[in-house]
Amino acid sequence: MHKFACKDLGIDCEFSATGENKEETLQKAMAHGGVVHKDLMEGQTEEQKAGFDKMLYDSIQPV
């Protein structure tokens, strides 16, 4: 099992996700972020988005 929480990235949000592996957890986190935190991604360059995606992936931890 793996876990992610928006707070792990310094985002003021109570959302957390768990999954059997990093990829499943990442999918849940991205689905949430694409709706609830859409404004955070707007206006970012592709390089900035890639950096955020890496930071998100790296923040997913085993539980």
Q: What is the pLDDT of residues 24-62, one digit of tens each?
A: 999 999 999 999 999 988 989 999 999 999 999 999 999
Length of the chain: 63
Q: If DSSP codes are grouped into helix, strand and coil, which group holds residue 8?
A: helix
Range of 50's domain? 2-62
Overall number of domains in the chain:
1
Rounded to two decimals, the pTM is 0.88
Provide the pLDDT confidence category of residue 16 given band limits of 50, 70 and 90: very high
pLDDT at 41: 84
DSSP H helices in the chain: 22-36, 38-41, 46-59
